[in-house]
Amino acid sequence: MAVAIQQSIYLILLSLVIHYYIGNTSDYNIYIRVLLLVTFKVVHRKVKFSYLAMSLFQDAFSEDTGLSIRCASKNRVSDKLSKIINALGWRQRFSNKIQCELPFLNNTLIIKQIPNGEEVVGTGAHVWPAAIILAKYLEKQIDNESLPLLIKNKRCLDLGSGTGIIGICAALLEAEISVCSDVKSVFNLMTENCDSARLIYNQSLSNLKCNIYEWDDENNNNNNDDDDLLDQFDVVFVSDCILPQLYPLEPLIKTTKKFMKDDGIAIFAYEARVYPYFNVMQRFKEICNTLELEMFNHVPLTDCHNIYVSDEVQIFYLRKKN
């Protein structure tokens, strides 16, 4: 016990040093991590201290060093703990902060957010975990020779884009055109983020567009002067928009279909949440069936990025039935 206490004190000092280096935010989760570390070191005394520390503070290291929670798993830290720790590493780190920072294509993509902005501009005020997981999955596909190139030279549309993150990533992954679309209230945020991506990556990104589009607006209130949405798309992205508690499913799925080319696909990132009135996925599949759409390619978690992954977020594809 005395050794554990000694190590814990050492770690608190270490955490303060780490906080000094990565602490440009008032990020209290670092202290929660220290607390977790101390607790688990005391409870799981056989787990190597260094593995736990590396796992808990993995985001202070380069993600490419492979210092992930996998190190700790070898030492029998439970899966549950692994998930809690991984989530603390990236998931809550930027919630309610003015910006979200994501390593992407050898740079750091900075996405502006509106803290407490949901009541002002809606749920698109910040980046959702599903989008982070999808972005890193898409980035990973560059090295996946067994899959055809998903985005390069393809026409891409990000529906319910919010901050614009997925549309921006698709543009950086060399889509022929990548259109971010959402309701009017988030349009300014989305455009600001597109402009800032141009500066960060020092590219004109002339393939990146922003548009106001309300799902399946049968009243035809979508007054778009430009032609970005006139043609259909090879890939339609839908990140964290399956939220029947807030938005009905049918308009979203109809709009997805409307914008898919006959041989196009839609890629959904879906975060499962408790919904008391019906089984969300079952209902989703029923609507897809009615609209002659089929789900395929449920992406296994092992195909996602090794850190930016969660078993609460599924990625799956949709295509039109022949």
Residues at the interface with ligand SAM (CB under 6 A)? 122-124, 127-128, 130-131, 160-163, 165, 182-183, 186, 214-215, 239-241, 247
Q: How far is the CB of 162 from ligand SAM (least distance, A)?
A: 3
Q: How far is the CB of 200 from ligand SAM (least distance, A)?
A: 18
Q: How far is the CB of 161 from ligand SAM (least distance, A)?
A: 5
Q: How far is the CB of 268 from ligand SAM (least distance, A)?
A: 10
Q: How far is the CB of 186 from ligand SAM (least distance, A)?
A: 5
Q: In which residue are the tokens 């029947």 written?
A: 244
Please identify, using beta-carbon distances, which residue of 81 and 313 lies nearer to ligand SAM. 313
Please identify, using beta-carbon distances, which residue of 162 and 264 lies nearer to ligand SAM. 162
Measure the CA–CA gap between 137 and 302, rounded to whole angstroms: 10
Q: How far is the CB of 39 from ligand SAM (least distance, A)?
A: 32
Q: How far is the CB of 239 from ligand SAM (least distance, A)?
A: 4
Please identify, using beta-carbon distances, which residue of 72 and 131 lies nearer to ligand SAM. 131
Please identify, using beta-carbon distances, which residue of 67 and 165 lies nearer to ligand SAM. 165
Please identify, using beta-carbon distances, which residue of 54 and 127 lies nearer to ligand SAM. 127
SS3 for 144-186 is: CCCCCCCCCCCEEEEECCCCCHHHHHHHHCCCCEEEEEECHHH
Residue nearest to ligand SAM (CB): 124
Report the SS3 class of residue 128. Answer: coil
Phi, psi (degrees; rounded to nearest 5) at 29: -70, -15
Angle of helix 49-56 relative to helix 79-90, nearest 10 degrees, comes to: 40
Please identify, using beta-carbon distances, which residue of 265 and 315 lies nearer to ligand SAM. 315
Measure the CA–CA gap between 163 and 166, rounded to whole angstroms: 9
Measure the CA–CA gap between 300 and 304, rounded to whole angstroms: 7
Q: Which helix (H) or strand (E) holds 211?
A: strand 208-212
Q: Which residues in 126-159 are b (16+ Cβ under 10 Å) and which e?
A: bbbbbbbbbbbbbbebeeeeeeeebbeebbbbbb
Please identify, using beta-carbon distances, which residue of 52 and 166 lies nearer to ligand SAM. 166
For residue 286, what is the DSSP state? H
For residue 43, what is the DSSP state? H
Distances (CA, A) of 42 to 10, 17, 35, 72, 119: 14, 22, 11, 15, 42
